[in-house]
Structure 1
């Protein structure tokens, strides 16, 4: 399996090369040359596999430069009940009561937040940490990871990388834009290889810094800069696995059907940077029987606007809303470039123009008149919707009243939008993104009580903080990295 850049860089690389590289040299994102195909017979073979075994089967389709025995061991080390708190790793819960008994309301919640930092990012980040450690040891090298977080990526990366040999983490985050719990998770870490940088700006400023540093090829090579954001293909690839796991659980009753009778499911995904739902796109391109991919946004509705109108319009920092689902307060969706690459028939020159010249000059591009966009909903199965603060509060209250279940604010966005796209006979799986304690203030506003807090996080907000604050300036971040690496 070889990988190419969405912007046309000539080199074709193997997995372990792009694992440590992040962005391609031309600023593009890596994708496999082709998507491996999975048929109905293979899906049936995979039923009943433990999550680690399923992960090995999916990942081995993309990785041929790590020996199979080693890759299997990495998967088994990563996806354990001890790390994720449950044998199933991503258990599926059916949301059903007396008022939701018809086929139209076959609705599920896939629990992705049982890991060390209580967010879905752990599903990929724990694997990434083990892959980094394995490959760096094999090469006898070190890696300095530069990342950007709007809330959950940072803590998931830092908990996955803390104490790892040969790895340092430099994580940027928007100052004051994360929940107190999210900030405490990151800033309370005292490990020498973890560095937190609070940027005076919004998440998009942090993301721009990561891209600017990654595009300085001399600096990137000198200081061995890698990424853990979902611009790194390895992280997105790991997320593909839980789409297969969700599908296999939701269709358990249809096991053994003939190929022509394979049942489809839909997924609703809270979306900011497009990485989580892009993994669903990849799974669908591999042949997983996905009917619809529901993109759920908050008030920062750049993605919803595109899927409704064909116009991708980046907002300025001042126009990026601060919301009660802060991990989605994003107006530049990095992974969106991967989907547009496929949407436009893998026309790298056109993608380079759209995400380079046109966004730089106009802050937008318009595909509304493009035949590819007009066929997108039919061919790729995307629909979208928007959720507001009032919607989140109502969805949290309704879910608690009907199911005795407390959900976080981002999952509420996904559930709210999912209801608008339910179809008879097609299970709808909503991807949970975090446990509610991470957004306790909004839960209290909605329900009048605080959500449960895991014992290991008692008093975390009062712990000493280790963080440096600086302006949104890539040069300052590069100087900070150089100082702490040399």
Structure 2
């Protein structure tokens, strides 16, 4: 299995090379040269593996299709080490919860619970594996890695909890100063491990993401300081997320003749891009529904064909803050497939046009229609008032408390339900991470897991800094040793 850049760089790399690299040398994102296809017999075998051996064994089967430069026994051991009941609190790892009205013959929707990991968010599903993969490969090479990332809320804590204490790994994590929930801030800033560095950037998430890309595109700096990334621009992270689409499908169906649809709350397009990959592999997915908040760049694209980045002043601060993003960095992977893998076109619109014009328009390109017809995409958006209403409705109707991002997903899913096809909403976090909005909606505090009692009062360590790449590079250089 070889990997190529969406922007046409000549290199073809193996998995472990791109694991430690992040962006391609030309600023593109890595994708496999072709997606491995899962035929009916393989899907049946995967279902049997899931039913008899569980999530870790299913992860090994899916990942093996993409990773051929780690010995099979080692990869299997990494999966078994990662996906345990001790880490995720449940033997199924990603149990499916039916939302079923009283007297109804079948569920209205399903929630796929992805938030059972150490930081109570879906990012743990990939990040826990990434931490183990990094440690394995760095030990094998006798090297070190400085992870540099950006978070709008959940990626940062998931990465830091996965990497804390890991041999040969340091984490430098940027976040938008004051724009995460108090719980999210406390999760990150209270980690005092020597290999964890939190940097609060004066700006919005897109400023943090731009800094990560600027550093990643400085190849000399990147090589000198051994910079890698855990953002979803890292293919390994997105690949790990493909697995739970298979697990959700097997739980919602009895046979491979059945289809399912997924609704995915999305800001950076990584979570739903993993669904796109699963669908390209042959998983019987009918629709992939992208749910956004008031920062509706992705919804606008799927409705109109225009992708229009918002500036800092136009990026709304919302009650689903992990989706307060107006530059979806993973979106390039999907557009690459949509435009028939035309790397020159991707370089023109993402590498040049977007940075100068702030938008691109595919509405007149006949290939745009394939987003819906060939690739199965739909979309919708949710506002604060609708978020509150959905949290209230789901609690009253099903007795289930959901967080604000999952509420965006449920609201949009309800607009796209097809009674013949089960609809699975990917749950993104536990409600405690966004307690203020839950109290606003329901008048009560969400349940807090015992290990997080009093987390907001713990000592914190964080460096506040302007959105200045030179200052950031200087800070990394000073703390790399």
**1:39: which partner in 2?**
39
Post-superposition offset of 1:306: 0.0
Q: Which whole-Å CA distance do the structure 2 matches of 1:141 and 1:217 have between them?
A: 18
Out of 183, 203, 206, the position equivalent to 1:204 is: 206
**2:25: which partner in 1?**
25
Q: Give the superposed CA RMSD.
A: 0.8
Out of 308, 314, 334, the position equivalent to 2:303 is: 308
Q: Which 4+ residue blocks in structure 1 deviate beyond 3 angstroms? A: 99-102
Is the 2:214–2:469 contact (alpha carbons within 8 Å) kept by the matching residues of 1? yes
Q: Which whole-Å CA distance do the structure 1 matches of 2:419 and 2:409 have between them?
A: 19
**1:220: which partner in 2?**
222
Name the SS for the 1:332 alignment partner: coil
Instruction: Write out per-residue CA displacement over residues 300-342 of structure 1, whole angstroms, 9 at most, x where no aligned residue.
Output: 0000000000000000011000000000000000000000000
Q: How does 1:83-482 map to 2 (within 5 A)?
A: 83-98=87-102, 100-101=104-105, 106-251=108-253, 254-255=254-255, 262-482=257-477
Q: Which whole-Å CA distance do the structure 2 matches of 1:270 and 1:432 have between them?
A: 8
Q: Which whole-Å CA distance do the structure 2 matches of 1:2 and 1:390 have between them?
A: 46
Post-superposition offset of 1:107: 1.2
Q: Which whole-Å CA distance do the structure 2 matches of 1:9 and 1:46 have between them?
A: 34
Instruction: Write out per-residue CA displacement over residues 104-136 of structure 1, whole angstroms, 9 at most, x where no aligned residue.
Output: x64100000000000000000000000000000
Name the SS for the 1:170 alignment partner: strand
The answer to whether structure 1 residue 70 and structure 2 residue 74 are counterparts is yes
Is the 2:119–2:157 contact (alpha carbons within 8 Å) kept by the matching residues of 1? yes
Is the 2:291–2:299 contact (alpha carbons within 8 Å) kept by the matching residues of 1? yes
Higher mean C-alpha deviation, range 113-122 or range 471-480: 471-480
Post-superposition offset of 1:100: 4.6
**What TM-score, normalized by structure 2, do the two folds share?**
0.98
Is the 2:211–2:467 contact (alpha carbons within 8 Å) kept by the matching residues of 1? yes
Closer, same or farther in 2 for the Cα pair 1:109/1:308, shift >3 Å?
Answer: same
Q: How does 1:53-68 map to 2 (within 5 A)?
A: 53-68=57-72
Is the 2:299–2:380 contact (alpha carbons within 8 Å) kept by the matching residues of 1? yes
Q: Which whole-Å CA distance do the structure 2 matches of 1:239 and 1:217 have between them?
A: 28
**What TM-score, normalized by structure 1, do the two folds share?**
0.97
Post-superposition offset of 1:36: 0.4
Closer, same or farther in 2 for the Cα pair 1:479/1:370, shift >3 Å?
Answer: same
Is the 1:106–1:425 contact (alpha carbons within 8 Å) kept by the matching residues of 2? no
Unaligned stretches of 5+ residues in structure 1: none
Name the SS for the 1:21 alignment partner: coil
Name the SS for the 2:170 alignment partner: strand
Name the SS for the 1:414 alignment partner: helix
Is the 1:265–1:428 contact (alpha carbons within 8 Å) kept by the matching residues of 2? yes
Unaligned stretches of 5+ residues in structure 2: none
Is the 1:106–1:426 contact (alpha carbons within 8 Å) kept by the matching residues of 2? no
Instruction: Write out per-residue CA displacement over residues 283-308 of structure 1, whole angstroms, 9 at most, x where no aligned residue.
Output: 00000000000000000000000000
Is the 1:310–1:368 contact (alpha carbons within 8 Å) kept by the matching residues of 2? yes
Q: Which whole-Å CA distance do the structure 1 matches of 2:188 and 2:371 have between them?
A: 39
Is the 1:277–1:293 contact (alpha carbons within 8 Å) kept by the matching residues of 2? yes
Post-superposition offset of 1:101: 3.7
Is the 1:408–1:439 contact (alpha carbons within 8 Å) kept by the matching residues of 2? yes
Q: Which whole-Å CA distance do the structure 2 matches of 1:25 and 1:306 have between them?
A: 27
Instruction: Write out per-residue CA displacement over residues 35-93 of structure 1, whole angstroms, 9 at most, x where no aligned residue.
Output: 00111221211221410000000000000000000000000000000000000000001
Is the 2:293–2:382 contact (alpha carbons within 8 Å) kept by the matching residues of 1? yes
Is the 1:297–1:413 contact (alpha carbons within 8 Å) kept by the matching residues of 2? yes
Is the 2:338–2:370 contact (alpha carbons within 8 Å) kept by the matching residues of 1? no
Q: Which whole-Å CA distance do the structure 2 matches of 1:375 and 1:137 have between them?
A: 44
Q: Which whole-Å CA distance do the structure 1 matches of 2:449 and 2:356 have between them?
A: 48
